[in-house]
Amino acid sequence: MNTPFTTLPRRGFLAGAGTSLAALALGGCQTVQNYANDPVGAANTIGGLFASDGKAGSVDESALGQGLYPRLVAQSGGAYTNARIQSAMRSFSEPLFRVSRRQFRWEITVLDDNSPNAWALPGGKLGINKGMLRYVASESELAAVISHEMGHAELSHQIAELESKGFTDKLVQFGKGVLQTEINAQVSGLNDLTSRGLDALTPAVSELITSGYSRSHEREADAYVLTVFRATGYDPRQASAIFKTLDALVPPGTKATTSLFSTHPGTRDRIELIDEAAARLPAGGGSAGSADFATIKAVFPTRRYYLRNPAEAS
């Protein structure tokens, strides 16, 4: 049984980590043979990576997301083993993905996790928990969840957060450990280093994408929902509905943070901002009657306020 709405503390990450994590995880540093033959040079190489001034645009977001995606899916309970649901989710999401201006290969996977949450990796890789599918009561609510997570990837929020204070400290320690291991073991080849680099990144990235972003990034992702709704015909006035459901799900006073629900900034404040912006937009007709949504709801009928008693979750 997965614990719903696990509280994960929000953490910051050090500036400059973007370039270093991409180089380390995706093979940008010296070969392992050089680690063994020239430890001083290797140490300088790693030091240079961690000292560099990274910018979001310098990170290969698609490659980073592609490398981390199977690890995060596995860590999140694995893909839900129902091919029809996976196919319906991909089909439902395709019109939303077409709104993106980024040259990403967008993907979405339904995860075998009972908590009502969703997440996105750099490069357009999304995960949505089966627990979330139990609380989306309409097509527009599901579209809002997907669009919100799209916004984080579209606007490179993950990279920006990783480049803020705190993350490089962890990578520096990892780099020192890898260096010593490779010197001692005299291992040849780069694939194992790349794999272990991604393994080392996974916990920190997982914490970021599941526990929530900064106030400004969450609000930008909320606003992106309206961008997608305007482009696809969903009614902007329905954009906040799923956030109202999430706000009702969590008992008052709970200090919980997820990718979609947060106490900082307050979800109710975010709902007000979404509704204010939506009121200035023309109404949309939505896409009522989607066969894909009907397929999803046949397996995951909508529940209301179920998680006010987390002990009932299964």
Q: How far apart are CA 215 and CA 273, in angstroms?
A: 13
In this structure, of 6-20, 107-121, 148-162, 235-249, the range with the lowest mean pLDDT score is 6-20
pTM greater than 0.85 (yes/no): no
Given a cut of 80, whether residue 218 has pLDDT beyond it is yes
Tens digits of residue pLDDT in 83-117: 999 999 999 999 999 999 999 999 999 999 998 99
Residue 299: which residues within 8 A CB-CB, separation 6 or more? 82, 84, 85, 133
Confidence of residue 214 (pLDDT cuts 50, 70, 90): confident
Burial of 298 (0-12, 13-18, 19+ CB in 10 A): exposed
Confidence of residue 43 (pLDDT cuts 50, 70, 90): very low
Q: How far apart are CA 8 and CA 258, in angstroms?
A: 7
Tens digits of residue pLDDT in 52-64: 343 433 457 888 7
With CA atoms as reference, report the closest residue to 67 among 207, 212, 191. 191
Average pLDDT along the chain: 74
Given a cut of 70, whether residue 222 has pLDDT beyond it is yes
| Arithmetic mean of pLDDT, 303-310 | 60
Burial of 1 (0-12, 13-18, 19+ CB in 10 A): exposed
